[in-house]
A and B are shown apart, each in its own frame.
Chain A
Amino acid sequence: MASQEMEELVQREYTQGFVTDIESDTVPPGLDENTIAFISNKKGEPEWMLEWRLEAYRQWLTMTTPSWAHLDYPPIDYQAISYYSAPKKQEDKPQSLDEVDPKLLETYEKLGIPLHERAALAGVAVDAVFDSVSVTTTFKEKLAEAGVIFCSISEAIREYPELVRQYLGSVVPQGDNYFAALNSAVFTDGSFVYVPEGVECPMELSTYFRINAANTGQFERTLIVCDKRAQVSYLEGCTAPQRDENQLHAAVVELVALEDAYIKYSTVQNWYPGDEDGKGGIYNFVTKRGDCRGDRSKISWTQVETGSAITWKYPSCMLRGKDSVGEFYSVAVTNGRQQADTGTKMIHIGEGTRSTIISKGIAAGRSDQAYRGLVKVGPRAKNARNFTQCDSLLIGDRCGAHTFPYQEIGNSSATVEHEATTSKIGEDQLFYCQSRGISEEDAVNMIVNGFCKDVFQELPMEFAVEAEALLNVTLEGAVG
């Protein structure tokens, strides 16, 4: 198949690109201390929270946007963004699903997340964040029986201030980086999870984020704390409507795993990627970090990234506890004019810490992507081990894939292995499948899914199916 034919395949439809017609309560664009006070007030936050936000804001003002990433985009005008948007009828928070605006529920149906049925069927508890407000959290009671707290971060700040105060910013400090500082100042919602000592969370927890209103940014903040010997599996899904202008998404996710705790965090990110010519789409600047604070704790990140015009994201693990384990499994797919600079950081601090990185990048169309990974072994991390594998698959000849592995090894007993491959989607593989009567498009899907298998098998079952389907949609027409 000729490569120009492959190019024709770069036709894709973004099926989540609908806009929900809901009256929303949105602040005018612009950012200053008053905006932050407004958000804090809207959320009914205590004084310390406002102070914390303002501290972050003042730090942010002194910082500059990072330029080291392999990304190309015009400067963002932070004064042109609205920092708070809530569906109007949500002003008085609903007490149960029956009180939720049917149009909102319809949106979630369209997204394939019927809150009641699907959640019930799958046994998944869902927290849905629509623009800046958490709409509803299902299965609260069942979780409460187990002692698990799962609610919006706004609610947690009001209801569990001590827990929030203890852990918020303890993994990603306010001034960690430009986007984290911005988020700390203006975050509007997100999820909070606390699993108490010895409790294995009885169901998978899930959050769906959606940016609906125009010209708004979404700044969610998620904090998950697993106490000693506790376990939780958390799923996160993201979509946004199709709009011509770019929208900013700058989230922060903090995970804390104490002794023998295990947190599994899975993401399927499908923000609107912009059209074929690169118009519109989400700018996704996300700081995700897990802290294996306790001995033998484990944090596992699994991500499937198919959306966003720009992705800047490095879910990381601080391996502090002795024999703690960090894992990063990633599939990033870019098509059209998408750009992604993504990877991970594994910081080995404690003795006997282990980490695994499996990254699969698939670039099609005129997209460009980079894997950027840091493996750092500190002087006390005796016998630390890392295994890294980065594979890139190119579809067509106008896309690019780059690998930037960094290693800083401060302990001679460490074992660090790195394997990397870049291959073009094999014409021989395609020919082989097609000569068996399989259409070109099915053949591409088959080969790409095979390529990603190591990562998909890390996803919870229902997410794996979704991820596979999403991949097929993203690459629809990527070869042709």
Chain B
Amino acid sequence: MLEVKDLHVTVDGSEILKGLNLTVNPGEVHALMGPNGAGKSTLSAVIAGKDGYEVTSGEVLFEGKNLLEMEIEERALAGILLGFQYPVEIPGVKNIYLLKAALNAQRVARGEEEIPAPEFMKLVREQLSFMKMDGSFLQRAVNEGFSGGEKKRNEILQMLVLQPKLAMLDEIDSGLDIDAMKVVAEGINSLRNADRAILMVTHYQRLLEHIVPDRVHVLVDGRIAKSGGKELAHELEARGYEWVLEESAA
């Protein structure tokens, strides 16, 4: 589904990704781990199309299409959705309005009718209660005055409504207490199916206790230094990142 080949990316003149390779297949959950500054968030930002990242070489294919030539919204409409570490506030724009606009953009892109209001409300209310969110969330401005946990739940709510093919989650566990973590993890687990891939960027093993990955990658200095199964995460938790660094230097 997603193929990243020898990707080199610079930000403000300094190279952050230095030849990254990654293949993600449908149905798989990948965890991208690594020390701070290794380039974890850069990868998801480049895939989503954020400005300010210069791809100097390499390619990113999504279902065989060259992602790097696509506009931000085209990537989203193709089925890629990024859950933000720090979702931005949009004053005056109701959460429900954004959700509906996003869902309708998808439907129109697929050549479908816009969703009728009652059907939309039913869909949203179901997912809302699944995420243990109050109905008032919908009427509040997007992320405005949301607590850290509320913001993260809201990101997952969007995923549940928009049903992406590739869900990318950037440090979705940061700033969550244990109860919120469980709700968020349940939301993500409910997204798992044979057609969907999930790519999680995380710093800590604790998220992976709730969402068990198929593959774990360690990103060090702009490259994937080591890949393995879920047991790799435990090893990292126990031994830190140093040994991977040493191993890859050797």
Which residues of A are at the interface with B, using a C-beta cutoff of 8 A?
1-2, 426-429, 431-440, 442, 446-447, 449-454
A-chain residues with CB within 8 Å of residue B141 when the two chains form the complex: 450
Q: How far apart are the CA atoms of A457 and B196 in the complex, in Å?
A: 42
Q: If A446-B93, A446-B98, A449-B93 touch, does A435 touch B88 (CB 8 Å cutoff)? A: no
Query: Is the CB–CB distance between A440 and B73 below 8 Å?
Result: yes
Q: Which residue of A lies closest to B50 (CB)?
A: A431
Question: Which 3 A-B residue pairings sit nearest by Cβ, starting from the closest?
Answer: A450-B92, A453-B92, A450-B93
Q: Which residue of B lies closest to A5 (CB)?
A: B51
Task: Give the distance to chain A from B104, nearest Cβ to Cβ, in Å.
Answer: 9
Contacts A436-B102, A438-B102 given; 4 further ones with Cβ under 8 A? A427-B51, A434-B73, A437-B109, A440-B73
B-chain residues with CB within 8 Å of residue A440 when the two chains form the complex: 71-73
7 contacts between A and B (CB under 8 A): A435-B73, A436-B102, A436-B158, A437-B76, A438-B101, A450-B91, A451-B92
Query: Is the CB–CB distance between A435 and B49 below 8 Å?
Result: yes
How many A-B Cβ pairs are below 8 Å?
A: 83
Query: Is the CB–CB distance between A1 and B158 below 8 Å?
Result: no
Q: Which residue of B lies closest to A391 (CB)?
A: B91
Query: Is the CB–CB distance between A434 and B88 below 8 Å?
Result: no
Q: How far apart are the CA atoms of A440 and B141 in the complex, in Å?
A: 19
Whether, in the assembled complex, B81 has its beta carbon less than 8 Å from a beta carbon of chain A, the answer is yes
A-chain residues with CB within 8 Å of residue B109 when the two chains form the complex: 437
Q: How far apart are the CA atoms of A439 and B109 in the complex, in Å?
A: 11
Whether, in the assembled complex, B48 has its beta carbon less than 8 Å from a beta carbon of chain A, the answer is yes
The residue that A439 contacts in the complex, of B49, B91, B105, with Cβ under 8 A, is: B105
Task: Give the distance to chain A from B169, nearest Cβ to Cβ, in Å.
Answer: 13
Task: Give the distance to chain A from B78, nearest Cβ to Cβ, in Å.
Answer: 9
Q: How far apart are the CA atoms of A438 and B98 in the complex, in Å?
A: 9
Whether, in the assembled complex, B87 has its beta carbon less than 8 Å from a beta carbon of chain A, the answer is yes
Query: Is the CB–CB distance between A429 and B88 below 8 Å?
Result: yes
B-chain residues with CB within 8 Å of residue A429 when the two chains form the complex: 88, 90
Whether, in the assembled complex, B199 has its beta carbon less than 8 Å from a beta carbon of chain A, the answer is no
Q: Which of B74-96 contact A (CB under 8 A)?
A: 75-77, 81-82, 84, 87-88, 90-93
Task: Give the distance to chain A from B199, nearest Cβ to Cβ, in Å.
Answer: 14
B-chain residues with CB within 8 Å of residue A438 when the two chains form the complex: 73, 76, 98, 101-102, 105
Max count, chain B CB within 10 A of own CB: residue among A428, A436, A439? A436
Query: Is the CB–CB distance between B101 and A434 below 8 Å?
Result: no
B-chain residues with CB within 8 Å of residue A1 when the two chains form the complex: 51
> What per-residue 1/0 map shows which CB atoms of B134-176 lie under 8 Å from chain A?
0000000110000000000000001000100000000000000
Q: If A427-B51, A432-B88, A436-B102 touch, does A447 touch B72 (CB 8 Å cutoff)? A: no
Query: Is the CB–CB distance between B73 and A432 below 8 Å?
Result: no
Q: Which of B40-82 contact A (CB under 8 A)?
A: 48-51, 71-73, 75-77, 81-82
Task: Give the distance to chain A from B246, nearest Cβ to Cβ, in Å.
Answer: 37
Q: Which residue of A lies closest to B49 (CB)?
A: A435
A-chain residues with CB within 8 Å of residue B98 when the two chains form the complex: 433, 436, 438, 446
B-chain residues with CB within 8 Å of residue A454 when the two chains form the complex: 92
Query: Is the CB–CB distance between A426 and B88 below 8 Å?
Result: yes
Whether, in the assembled complex, B202 has its beta carbon less than 8 Å from a beta carbon of chain A, the answer is no
The residue that B72 contacts in the complex, of A431, A442, A450, A451, with Cβ under 8 A, is: A431
Q: How far apart are the CA atoms of A439 and B75 in the complex, in Å?
A: 11
Task: Give the distance to chain B from A459, nearest Cβ to Cβ, in Å.
Answer: 14
> What per-residue 1/0 map shows which CB atoms of B96-123 lie under 8 Å from chain A?
0110011001100100000000000000
Q: How far apart are the CA atoms of A437 and B102 in the complex, in Å?
A: 6
Max count, chain B CB within 10 A of own CB: residue among A437, A440, A450? A437
B-chain residues with CB within 8 Å of residue A446 when the two chains form the complex: 90, 93, 97-98, 101
Query: Is the CB–CB distance between B92 and A439 below 8 Å?
Result: no
Max count, chain A CB within 10 A of own CB: residue among B84, B87, B88, B106? B88
Q: If A1-B51, A450-B141 touch, does A434 touch B72 (CB 8 Å cutoff)? A: yes
Query: Is the CB–CB distance between B92 and A449 below 8 Å?
Result: yes
Task: Give the distance to chain B from A225, nearest Cβ to Cβ, in Å.
Answer: 36
Q: Which residue of B lies closest to A439 (CB)?
A: B73
B-chain residues with CB within 8 Å of residue A447 when the two chains form the complex: 90, 93
Q: How far apart are the CA atoms of A428 and B91 in the complex, in Å?
A: 13
Max count, chain B CB within 10 A of own CB: residue among A2, A432, A451, A453? A432
Q: If A442-B101, A447-B93, A453-B92 touch, does A435 touch B76 (CB 8 Å cutoff)? A: yes
Task: Give the distance to chain A from B141, nearest Cβ to Cβ, in Å.
Answer: 7
Q: How far apart are the CA atoms of A437 and B107 in the complex, in Å?
A: 10
Q: Which residue of B lies closest to A447 (CB)?
A: B90
Task: Give the distance to chain A from B172, nearest Cβ to Cβ, in Å.
Answer: 15
Task: Give the distance to chain B from A238, nearest Cβ to Cβ, in Å.
Answer: 26
A-chain residues with CB within 8 Å of residue B75 when the two chains form the complex: 435
A-chain residues with CB within 8 Å of residue B91 when the two chains form the complex: 450-451, 453
Query: Is the CB–CB distance between A437 and B92 below 8 Å?
Result: no
Q: How far apart are the CA atoms of A426 and B51 in the complex, in Å?
A: 12
Q: Which residue of B lies closest to A427 (CB)?
A: B51
Task: Give the distance to chain B from A385, nearest Cβ to Cβ, in Å.
Answer: 24
Query: Is the CB–CB distance between B105 and A437 below 8 Å?
Result: yes
Q: How far apart are the CA atoms of A400 and B229 in the complex, in Å?
A: 55
Query: Is the CB–CB distance between B88 and A436 below 8 Å?
Result: no
Query: Is the CB–CB distance between A437 and B90 below 8 Å?
Result: no
Task: Give the distance to chain A from B109, nearest Cβ to Cβ, in Å.
Answer: 7
A-chain residues with CB within 8 Å of residue B158 when the two chains form the complex: 436
Task: Give the distance to chain A from B108, nearest Cβ to Cβ, in Å.
Answer: 9
A-chain residues with CB within 8 Å of residue B101 when the two chains form the complex: 433, 436, 438, 442, 446
Query: Is the CB–CB distance between B76 and A434 below 8 Å?
Result: yes
Task: Give the distance to chain B from A369, nearest Cβ to Cβ, in Å.
Answer: 20
Task: Give the distance to chain B from A373, nearest Cβ to Cβ, in Å.
Answer: 21
Q: How far apart are the CA atoms of A68 and B226 in the complex, in Å?
A: 68
